[in-house]
A and B are shown apart, each in its own frame.
Chain A
């Protein structure tokens, strides 16, 4: 009996052809072959996985579904599981040298590139970070440390946000001193090169799939900066 066919398809309303198209998008990535070599079902990856302890999540299931080319199960993983992964790569202990964390990265890329609702939902609160990394080349900055954003980090966050300007000026490192809107002082030329990379690699189009408003904003700022130089 085919084990796949006994399981009810939770996403029967999604055409199989669409699931297959997304699956093939993952499988045809040039990195895919480096990440999957088969699966012993030994569970070593699960025992090492932090997300498996807190979520209904299994790197073994991901490796198996991909290796078996179980397109329906792949689709479930795509919409339900991938954002639980902590991307720590503890799972690369795999004796078959699989990289389930790497597979998750590829699947996430496909989810984002195709603007899937689940990806847009999960990244909704994340836009300010994307804004920062695209424009400043830094993931985080001191001015992100606001009490309403990090209430669980203790009274220190409030103390910092009230003293941000002077605390930042009291850092002896030349490239950090006084900088609050980025992690360090970056040359304008460097940022223009970064913007060129985002355009030339179509990275900017990926942002459009997850947040149209953010995309328009980034486009305005980056195009204007590049045009000024041109």
Chain B
């Protein structure tokens, strides 16, 4: 019997059809229902998403509430420590829309990076760190917005453990009692890129930098959509809801050509421990499986991603590869930085591009942004700080969008 081959075009067409999922047929329990059951038993407090919020679809067709404001910004140690323009761009966007938010000092990192790297912790400690941060947000009356992809994934995983294991919950409660804090779990764990996603049309309305001639590759962050996968945003209009919609949704709203590449599912090579003390793996993977594949297949103007580790890995790994004549040289930005740049954020006062390793100048030149002029301005800022004329830059120096020629 002859075998009938299905033409590749037909397979591609089938794969591009939107998938509309029925939440009643979801393969996992809705954790939020279990949270409310625990609250009804008096075991925990569920921190409700404040209004205004936007409801979006997640992987299995359920709805997820994304708060617009009254948010408590759970910062990322990797962003704040090594790529501060990432965090600054998130805050700058909030300030541009005059949204109510808190940038807390009563916050530790999730400590998840260390946990995934070295395992020098345990389940109860990880739960306690999470609950302490969530209690701090609750006490202040603001809702946690998680900046880091790993914190987001880690907290989802830890929240699941807290819900499913009474012994862990009892320990967490004992610890929170010891600290004099309530045991609070947010109704939704929300990543900042989900906030960017629901804000994308408002961002596009205020776009001052034309990006329609740019081609970008998206690297979806593993800890965003692989850990507790059902929490990530999916949209039938974006990849037919077969991949997460965050990041891509923003870029499309900004008129950027999002180019697909074959290794989109691969991780960036971060590895947690590897990026700090065993970078031969990280560099090799980032270059051979991500950057070179993108360069070869679509030659993008930039890579856009939505996690601390991914920006760090993809950006910093390219320098050494250049010495080996590999195909590298693609600037790497977070979605928040791209959104801020589109709205006219200063490339150095806000985006802090001088902290990036791979050359971003060709990208700014293609966008018609005179980076030398803004670098000069920033150098004057630095000189003023050195001379002691000002202690540092403030939002007063950075809020104003740059004047971009139409």
A: which residues have CB within 8 A of B?
29-31, 34, 48, 50-51, 53-55, 83, 86-90, 92-93, 105, 108-109, 111-113, 122-123, 125-126, 129-130, 133, 137-142, 144-145, 150, 152-154, 156, 160, 163, 166-178, 182-187, 189-191, 193-194, 196-198, 200-203, 206-207, 210
Contacts and interface: CB of A to CB of B under 8 A. Distances in A.
A92 B227 contact: yes
B96 interface: no
A55 B285 CA distance: 11
Contacts of A29: 123
Contact of A184 (B80, B118, B267, B285): B80
B175 A177 contact: no
B75 A187 contact: no
Interface string B246-285: 0000000000000000000111011111101101010111
A141 B397 CA distance: 24
Interface in B370-404: 378, 381-382, 385-386, 391-395, 397-398
A30 B165 contact: yes
Contacts of B106: 186-187, 189-190
A172 B397 contact: yes
Name the residue in B105, B279, B381 with the highest tally of chain A Cβ atoms < 10 Å from its Cβ: B105
B125 interface: yes
B77 interface: yes
14 contacts: A51-B281, A55-B281, A88-B223, A89-B222, A123-B120, A137-B111, A169-B393, A171-B84, A171-B88, A183-B76, A183-B78, A183-B81, A183-B109, A201-B125
A112 B120 contact: yes
Interface string B134-161: 0010000000000000000100000011
Contacts of A173: 80, 84, 87-88, 91, 103
A66 B88 CA distance: 45
A154 B136 contact: no
Per DSSP, are chain A's interface residues mostly helix, strand or loop, or mixed? helix
Contacts of A88: 222-223, 226, 267, 270-271
Contacts of A190: 105-108, 136
Given A139-B109, A152-B320, A193 B179 contact: yes
A200 B178 contact: yes
B283 to A, nearest CB: 7
B180 to A, nearest CB: 9
A136 to B, nearest CB: 8
Contact of B108 (A129, A130, A186): A186
Interface in B284-340: 284-285, 289, 316, 319-320
A90 B263 CA distance: 12
A138 B78 CA distance: 8
Contacts, number: 261
B71 to A, nearest CB: 15
Per DSSP, are chain B's interface residues mostly helix, strand or loop, or mixed? helix
Interface of B: 75-82, 84, 87-88, 91-92, 103-109, 111, 113-125, 128-129, 132, 136, 153, 160-161, 164-165, 167-168, 171, 174-175, 178-179, 222-223, 226-227, 229, 265-267, 269-274, 276-277, 279, 281, 283-285, 289, 316, 319-320, 349-350, 352, 354-357, 378, 381-382, 385-386, 391-395, 397-398
Name the residue in B116, B168, B171, B289 with the highest tally of chain A Cβ atoms < 10 Å from its Cβ: B116
A139 B357 contact: no
Contact of A92 (B122, B226, B355, B357): B226
Nearest to A163: B382
Contact of A197 (B118, B132, B226, B281): B132
Given A184-B75, A186-B107, A171 B120 contact: no
Nearest to B391: A169
A139 to B, nearest CB: 4
B350 to A, nearest CB: 7
Contact of B285 (A53, A92, A163, A196): A53
A186 B105 contact: yes
Nearest to A172: B398
Contacts of A142: 81-82
Nearest to A113: B122
B281 A138 contact: no
Given A142-B81, A173-B103, A175-B105, A89 B136 contact: no
